[in-house]
Structure 1
Amino acid sequence: MRYSKERARQLAWRAAMGAGASHAAAASLADATVAAELSGRGAVGFAHLLDYLEGFVAGRIAGGAEPDIGFPTPAIIRVDAKGGIAQLGFDLAFDELRARADLYGMTVFAQENSYTAGELGYYTRRLANAGLVALAASNGPALMTAGASRAPVYGTNPLSFAAPVENGRPLVVDQASSATAFVNVRCAADNGEAIPEGWAVDRNGQPTTDAREAVKGLLLAFGGARGANIALMVEILAAGLTGANWSCDAPSFAAGSRSPGVGLFIVGLKADVFAPGFSARLASQIERLAAQGIHIPGRSPDTGDVELPGSLVAAIEQYGKS
């Protein structure tokens, strides 16, 4: 089914409201959901929206939460999401984040006690569109093992980076520190598809390409110890510095009635303060790299239609009828 950007947003907004979200939370979640689809990240778009809707109904997300925003220093913004969605705290602090980066050359956003962050590139891309170089890290409930352990120790712990490009869409890097995102494994399981070797182990700790067994098991870090090191760095930024739950202490995002209580850590740098003409230099460098066949990540348009499977639309619309 094909939806315009606004119709897709209304679909998500109605469903979130029906599931128990406040007007503000529903609006933030709808914007982020559509943005994920338009950036080509459908696995964390409308498919992931169902996790949020179920989370509102089950109590894993506090639908009426009002984030508490504070400023421990002029360049630091601290947010307690109060068990709500990560996107709302960011939206409420966005203007201050931009203004303080303009004034001080940089700012830090540190949020605790939220549901998982969804598409991490959503946050960095918005800041890059405002002229900032941005780095974001977020943790989640433990779904990944590392090293010799066969216990869940880290979330997929994604890292995102974005930078403004003159006369063009921002460069956006958004990737998990696991070999793939959990939602991709779950999607493969739902469709009866195999997954590549090296993505996951089954519940007995044995390597598997059966997505249905992988869902019951654990994800693996990309690149072995190197990916696990990045997951640990993300964990320290997103949970350690924010005061959020460590991944291995975070309740499930898909079961129970408790919030995962995880964190989101973002650094925004005013590019032209560091290097005048930065976005023009980056545009030139991107052209040079692209001419050599180098993939430039995350430069998808933010306009166009959203295409969704009819079965997914039907599942989402059930919440809108509540």
Structure 2
Amino acid sequence: MTLSLEQGLRLCEDAARRAGARPETAASLARSVVDAEAEGQPSVGLAHFVDYLEALEAGRIDGQALPEISRPAGAIIASDAKGGSAHLGFDTAFDDLVKTARDFGVAIFSQKNAFTAGALGYFVRRLAEKGLVGLAATNGPALLAGSGSTKPVYCTNPLAFAAPVENGPPLIIDQASSATAFVNIRKAAHEGKSIPEGWAIDAEGKPTTDAKAAVKGALLAYGGRRGANIALMVEVLAAGLSGANWSLDAPPFTSGSQTPGAGLFVLAIEPKLIDPTFATRMASQTERLSSGYGVHIPGPAKSIARKKAERDGISVPKPLYDRIAG
């Protein structure tokens, strides 16, 4: 089925409300997944929205929760999501976060007690569209083995970065600390497909290409020890600073009735206060890297996909549409 972006938003908002979400939560969740779908990221798009619906129905997301926002310092915005979605707290604080970054040069949004965040690049892209540099980190239930470990101790612990580019789409980097995202392992297990070597280990700590065994085991970090160290860094930023659950203590996001209590860290920087020509220099540098050296610049492809989706709509498999439509 082909839906316009507006139809996709209405579909998801209505479904979230039926599942117990207040209108603000429904709108925040819908916007995040439709944006991901439009950017060509179906694994964290409408397919992932089903995870949100099931979490709302089971109570892993408190659909009626309102985030508690506080200002412990001039440039710091703290949010207690109260068991609700990660997106509502960020949306509630977004305008203040942007203004604070412009006033002080930097601003931090730190959140605890939330459901998992989905596509992390979504948060920093919105900052870059306001002319800000953004850095984000988030955690969740333990899925990834640490350095020297054969048991999961971190979530996939992604790190995202975005920067504005004059007269063009922003640079956006969004990557997990794991060799692949958990949704890819779960999808392969559901479809009975194998996975590449180096993605995961089984429950006994042995390398595996069996996706079902990987789901019961642990994901592996990209780059071995270095990737695991980045996962630890993300864990400290997302959970340590915010007071959120460490990944080892986070209830699962696919079963049960408890929130994972995940953390989210977002840093916003106003580059114009340091270099007024930052966005201009970014444009010339990314063009030089791309055209002169063949470097892939992450971000523009998502912008192209979004514009196409705005024009042509998004394609949604009929079974997925029926599940969301109820």
**TM-score, normalized by length of structure 1?**
0.97
For 2:42 and 2:246, the matched residues in 1 are separated by 27
CA deviations over 1:4-55 (Å, ceiling 9, x no partner):
1111111111111111111000000000011111222211111111111000
Contact 2:83 2:261 in 1 (8 A): yes
Structure 1 segment 111-150 matched on structure 2, within 5 A: 111-150=111-150
For 2:234 and 2:275, the matched residues in 1 are separated by 27
Structure 1 segment 1-322 matched on structure 2, within 5 A: 1-291=1-291, 292-299=293-300, 300-301=302-303, 302-303=306-307, 304=309, 305-318=313-326
Contact 2:147 2:229 in 1 (8 A): no
CA deviations over 1:70-106 (Å, ceiling 9, x no partner):
1111110000000000000000000000111111111
CA deviations over 1:197-236 (Å, ceiling 9, x no partner):
1001112221111212212221111110000000000000
Structure 2 counterpart SS, 1:163? strand
Residue type of the alignment partner of 1:74 = G
CA deviations over 1:241-273 (Å, ceiling 9, x no partner):
001000000000011110000100010000111
CA RMSD of superposed structures (Å): 0.9
Shift of 1:189: 1.6
- How many residue pairs match? The answer is 318
CA deviations over 1:47-68 (Å, ceiling 9, x no partner):
1111110001111110000000
Shift of 1:193: 2.0
For 1:265 and 1:9, the matched residues in 2 are separated by 26
Displaced runs of 4 or more, over 6 A: none
For 1:298 and 1:203, the matched residues in 2 are separated by 36
Residue type of the alignment partner of 2:35 = A
| Percent of aligned pairs sharing the same letter | 57
**TM-score, normalized by length of structure 2?**
0.96
Structure 2 counterpart SS, 1:125? helix
Residue type of the alignment partner of 1:311 = P
CA deviations over 1:260-310 (Å, ceiling 9, x no partner):
001000100001111111111001111111112111112212331211222
Structure 2 counterpart SS, 1:6? helix
Q: Which moved more, 1:300-309 or 1:263-272?
A: 300-309
Q: Which moved more, 1:177-186 or 1:36-45?
A: 36-45
Gaps of 5+ in 1: none
Contact 1:58 1:257 in 2 (8 A): yes
